[in-house]
Chains A and B, each alone.
Chain A
Amino acid sequence: MFDRRLVINFDWILLLTVCLLVGIGIVNLYSATANWQDLSTPFYMKQLIWLGGGLTLVLLLCCFDYRHLEHFAVHGYVITLGMLLFVLLFGKASMGATRWIDLGFFNLQPSEVIKIAMILLLARIFGRTAHLQGFRLGELWQPALWLLLPVVLILKQPDLGTALMLIFIAGSMLLFAGLQRATLFGLGVLGGLAAVAGWFGLHDYQRDRILTFLNPEADPLGRGYHIIQSKIAVGSGGFLGKGFLQGTQAQLSFLPERHTDFAFSVFAEEWGFVGCGLLLFCYFFLIIWGLYIARHAADRFGMFLAIGVTAMIFWHIVVNLGMVIGLLPVVGVPLPLFSYGGTSMVTTMIGVGLLMNVSMRRFMF
C-alpha cells in the first residue's frame, strides 16, 4: 500500500515554490489591509488559515494515485455541471451576478470547481484520443461540447473572466494535444466569429470594461478608475519601491480591491521593479516546473492533467497581471496563491495537489 518511493519522490521544489509565493502574498496582504482596523480576524490571518487548509488539501490529494481520477472524471464533470445549473436557478446573488451556493461555512463556487472537473475530463479524453498527426476538426465536436456547456452556463451568471479562463485552459490543452494545420485555421476562424458574435452578446458592463481598457483616461473617476489607480500604484513604485507599508496608493485606499484582484499593485508599489521581477520569476519558475512535471508524467492522462493545471495557473497569472498593469481589460480574476480569497486558494491548491500527485508518481512504471 504505502510506497516509500512516494516520500523519496515528493516534489519539495513544487511545495517550496508554492509556499514561497503564498508567503509573499500573505506579507503583502498584511500591508494591503494594514489600515482596516476593526476586523476581528485580519485578512492575513484568514489567508494563513486558508493556506493551512490548502496544504492539507495538497497532502490529501497526494495520498491516492491520480489515475483513479480518470474513472471519476465524467462523474465529477456531470455533477459540477449540475451545480452550475443549480446556481443559475437558486444561487446566491451578489453584486449583480449569481455564482455561489451557500454551504453555511463556505460559499461554494461551482464555476471554480468546473475548472478542475474540466481539466480532468479533457485530460481523460485527450489522453485516450490524442495522436501525433493532430486532431481534425471532426474529432473535436465532443470536447467542444463539454467545454461550451459550462462556458454558456457561466456566461449566463454572468462571469466573463471565468468563462474565458475555461476556454484558455481547454485551448491550451488542445493545442498541446495537437491540431492539424487546417483545424487550427478553422478554429481560428470560428473563434473570430464567436468573438464578434460575443461582443454583441456581452453585458453592457462587460463591454464598458473593454472600452475602458482601451481608453481608461476617458472616464477617470468611473470605469477607468481601477486601471488608472493601479497603473499609478505600479508606476510610482519605481525601481526599488516605496517600502513595506509605505505605498501611498495602497495605504490611503486609492487602490480598489487591493486585497484581492489588485494585490499585485500593492506589491509593485511597495517593492518596485526589483520585487516584481523576483515575484514574476517565482511564477515563471512555477509554470516551467509544471511543464517539467507534465513532461515527466508517467502516462498521458497525467501529462495532460499537469498541462491543464499548469495552464490554469498560468492564465490566471497572465490575465490578472495583464489587468493590473493595464495590458488587458479588467476582468475579475485573482492572482493565484497571492490574492486573498478562499475559493481561489482552494482551486489552486487542488491543482497543486494534482500536480504533486503526478510528479510523485512519475517513476511508478
Chain B
Amino acid sequence: MGLDAKWTELPEVQRRFLLFSVVVAIIFLLLILRLWFLQIVNHEEYLERSIRNRTRVLSLEAPRGPIYDRNEVLLVDNRPSFRISVLRQDVADRTKLLTRLAELLEVDRDVLEQRWQKGRHFPIYRPVPLATDVSREVLERIQEQGVDLPGVLTEVRPVRDYLEKGSVAHLIGYLGEISEEELASEAYHQSRAGDLVGKVALEKTFEPFLQGEKGRRLVEVDVKGKLLRQLQMESARPGNKLYLTLDRELQRAADEAFGEQSGAAIALDVENGDILAMLSRPTFDPALFARGIASDEWRELLNDQRHPLQNKVIAGQYSPASTFKMIVALAALREGIVGTKREIDCQGDFKLGGSRFRCWKKAGHGPTNLKKALRESCDVWFYQVGLELGIDKLSAAAKEFGLGAPVGYPLPGEKAGVIPSQKWKRARFKQPWYAGETVITAIGQGFVLTTPIQLAVMTAALANGGKVLKPRLIERIEDWQGNLLLRPETEIVREISYSDAAWKAIKQGLVAVVNEPRGTGQIARLEDVVIAGKTGTSQVVRRKSDEEEELDEGGDVPYRFRPHALFVAYAPADKPKIAVAVVVEHGQHGGSAAGPIAKTIIERYITLQSARSGDGG
C-alpha cells in the first residue's frame, strides 16, 4: 500500500479530480435549473393546482322564489325544514351510530343503511342525508344526544310550502328530483343530481326565475377529502318573486263553492285578461311532491278516474253545449238571417230529411224570438238558424272568439279543442259534411269541443265588445330585492266587430237567462248586481236523439253518463268587469250545478271590489 504516495499529485489524477468536480457542478446546476423551471417559470400553474388540490366548492341551496297573488298575498312560500345528515369523516362506529339514530328518528335501521349507501359516492366532505323534514320533537331529541352522536348534523333547508294546498296546485305545479335530461341541459347548469326542480306548470316554466342562484362555500380538505375549514363563502341569492294575476280570496271562494265536484272554473278580468281565479277539480296536494312522493301515492293519483293531475281549465275538452249559442246568434245577426224580431215556432222538435232533432223541452217553446231563444235555450230556434247559416260561417264565427285553438295560456299543456268545418271533416274523416251535423253543431254538440279557458275568453269578448284577450297569469316578476324584472302586457289577440245592435241583443238575452222568469240560469241571480250568463248541458256519450229524454230524468243515470254542467257569465252586465266559465263534470244541468259556483265567484268579486275601493277611499 502507499506505493506511490504522490499519486494524487500527478497531473493526470488532478485532471480527473477537476473533471469530476465539473461534472458534479453541472449536475447540480441541472437540478437547480429544473427547480427554477418548476418554482419560478411554472410556479403559477403548480400553485393553482395545489389550491385545486386542497379546496372544494360546496354549494348552498338558494331559497326558491315565493309566489304571491295580485294583492301580494303569499300563495307559495318556503319554510325551514330540518334535515338530519351525517358527515362520514367524523363517524367512528357506523353500526353503532345508525342503530342509535334509528331509535331516535323512529326509522327502520335498514332504511338508514340504504340512505347511507345512496350517498357512498358523494365526496367525503358532503353530508349524507338520513332523514328529511324531521319534526321539532325528533330534532330536540337528536340535539340532546349531540355529544354521543359524532358526525351527525342538523341542516336547515328551505322547503316549498304550498299555503293554498290543492286549490292552486294545477296552476303552480310541483317539484321533483331533477332528471338526467334536465341535468344535461344548459338551463339547469347550476343544478346537481338530487336537486329539486319544477316539474310541471308554473314551477317548471318559471324555473329559471324561481330557482335563484346557489351560494358557494369554499372549504379546505385534506387528501382524503376530509373537511378542515371554511375559506370563503358566497351567500345564495334567493329566487325571484312571482306575482300572479290571481286573487286568493276569489280563488278560495271558487274552491269552497266547488265542493267535492269534478270540473273546472276560471274567472277573467274582461278588460285585461287577468286570470283572477282558476280551479281544477279534483286536485292533489303539491306538498306530497315537495317531500318526495311515495310510489303508491303517485299511482293512486295517476289511476284516479277523475284525473286529479289534469288541469281541466286548459286541458279539459268539453262540448260547449248551449254556451255556444251566443256565437250562432251573433253570426246569424251579422249575416242578416235573423233580426231581433224573427220568430221561429218551436213545437219541441225539428225535422231534417228523415231525422228528427228534439228541443230539450219536449212540449216546445212556441213562437220564439232571439231573446227568448237565449233565455230559454230553445234548441229548435238554433237548429233552424244554424242550418240557414251553414257550418262554415258558424265555425268562422266561433274561431274568431278564440274557440277551437289555444288561447295562449302562458304555461304549457293547453288543448286546442275542435271547431268543425267542412274542410276539417274532410281532412279528419275523409267524409263530406252533412246538414244534420250543422244542426247539432248549432247547439254546441257533435264535434265541437272547447276548454273552459276558451269559454272564459269568449265570454270576456262578449262582455267587452269583441276584444279577444290573451289570458294573463303573471302580473309581474321582481327580484328578491324588489326590482321589477318583467311585467307582461295585456295582449289583444283580435277585435271582432259586430253591430252595436247585435252586441246589445246578445247581452239582453244573457241578462234574461239569469234575471227573467223562465230563464235557465235564474239560480245565478244576484240582488245587487246584474249578471249576464248562459247555461249549458253537455252530453257525455253520443246518444240517439230518441234517448235524450232520459237526460231530463236525471238522478238515475249512472255518474259517468251524466252530462256535464256548464255556465258562463259576466258581470255587471252594464259595465262588465269579470267573466266566468264553470264546468262541473257530470253535474247534469248547467243552471243548477254550475250556476251557483259562477254566482259565488261573481258575488265574492263584487264584494271584494267594493271593500277594496272602500279601503282606498
Using a CB–CB distance below 8 Å, which chain A residues touch chain B?
67, 70, 127-128, 132, 176, 178, 229, 231-239, 248-249, 252-254, 268-269, 272-273, 276-277, 280, 283-284, 287-288, 291, 294-301, 303, 307, 314, 318, 321-322, 325-327, 365
Contacts and interface: CB of A to CB of B under 8 A. Distances in A.
B224 A325 contact: no
Nearest to A130: B7
Nearest to A281: B28
Nearest to A240: B39
A238 B43 contact: yes
B494 interface: no
Interface stretch (B49-57, B416-424, B464-472): B49-57
Interface stretch (B8-16, B186-194, B270-278): B8-16
A248 B220 CA distance: 10
Given A231-B38, A234-B46, A291-B20, A321 B8 contact: no
B25 interface: yes
Contacts, number: 138
Nearest to B20: A291
Chain B contact-residue range equals 35 or more
A188 to B, nearest CB: 16
Given A238-B47, A248-B53, A253-B222, A268 B5 contact: no
Contacts of A254: 50, 53-54, 222-223
Given A236-B43, A236-B47, A178 B16 contact: yes
Given A238-B40, A249-B50, A284 B28 contact: yes
A2 B92 CA distance: 63
Contacts of A234: 35, 38-39, 46
Contact of A284 (B2, B24, B53, B228): B24
Nearest to B14: A295
B224 A70 contact: no
Contacts of B221: 252
Interface string B374-405: 00000000000000000000000000000000
Contacts of A236: 43, 46-47, 49-51
B31 A296 contact: no
Nearest to A255: B223
B304 interface: no
Instruction: List the 10 closest pairs (A to B, CB-CB), nearest first.
Output: A235-B46, A236-B50, A252-B222, A299-B2, A253-B223, A235-B38, A273-B39, A238-B43, A236-B47, A236-B46
Contacts of B32: 276-277, 280
Nearest to B38: A235
A176 B16 CA distance: 7
A295 B31 CA distance: 25
7 contacts: A128-B1, A178-B12, A178-B16, A232-B50, A248-B220, A284-B24, A322-B31
A232 B53 contact: yes
A269 B43 CA distance: 11
B145 interface: no
A314 B24 CA distance: 8
Given A232-B53, A325-B38, A252 B47 contact: no
A291 B2 contact: no
Contacts of B42: 235
B4 interface: yes
B135 interface: no
A200 B54 CA distance: 39
Contact of B40 (A239, A287, A296): A239
A294 B31 contact: no
Contacts of A299: 1-2, 5
Interface SS of chain A = helix
Contacts of B2: 298-301, 365
B7 A300 contact: yes
A288 B50 contact: no
B45 interface: yes
B221 to A, nearest CB: 7
A232 B53 CA distance: 9
B223 to A, nearest CB: 4
Contacts of A321: 31
B356 interface: no
A207 to B, nearest CB: 24
A237 B3 CA distance: 53
Most chain A C-beta atoms within 10 Å of own C-beta, residue among B3, B43, B45, B228: B43
Contact of B24 (A176, A248, A291): A291
A217 to B, nearest CB: 11
B34 interface: yes
Contacts of B49: 232, 235-236
B298 interface: no
B345 to A, nearest CB: 93
Given A132-B13, A325-B38, A327-B31, 15 more contacts: A128-B1, A235-B42, A248-B51, A252-B220, A253-B222, A253-B223, A253-B224, A254-B222, A277-B32, A291-B20, A295-B8, A300-B4, A300-B8, A303-B8, A318-B31
A97 B51 CA distance: 36
Contacts of A237: 39, 43
Contacts of A276: 32, 35, 39
Interface in B195-229: 220-224, 228
A231 B224 contact: no
Contact of A239 (B14, B43, B228): B43
B21 interface: yes
Interface string B55-73: 0000000000000000000
Nearest to A70: B1
Contact of A273 (B3, B17, B40, B228): B40
B47 A235 contact: yes
A304 B437 CA distance: 119
B559 interface: no
B36 interface: yes
B496 interface: no
B34 A327 contact: yes
Contact of B8 (A128, A229, A297, A322): A297
Contacts of A283: 28
A34 B53 CA distance: 19
B39 A235 contact: yes
Contacts of A307: 20
A249 B53 contact: yes
B38 A252 contact: no
B337 interface: no
Contacts of A287: 24, 28
A296 B224 CA distance: 53
B27 interface: yes
Given A234-B39, A276-B39, A325-B38, A252 B24 contact: no
Nearest to B43: A238
A178 B32 CA distance: 29
B288 to A, nearest CB: 43
A214 B36 CA distance: 20
B7 A295 contact: no
Contacts of B228: 252
Given A239-B43, A298-B5, A273 B21 contact: no
A123 to B, nearest CB: 11
A271 B470 CA distance: 71
A299 B9 CA distance: 11
B1 A67 contact: yes
Most chain A C-beta atoms within 10 Å of own C-beta, residue among B3, B14, B47: B47
Given A232-B46, A272-B39, A280-B28, A291 B21 contact: yes
Contacts of A229: 53
Contact of B35 (A127, A294, A325): A325
B520 to A, nearest CB: 79
Contacts of A249: 50, 53-54
Contacts of B47: 235-236, 238
B31 A132 contact: no
Contacts of B53: 229, 232, 248-249, 252, 254
Interface in B216-244: 220-224, 228
Contacts of A291: 17, 20-21, 24
B460 to A, nearest CB: 66
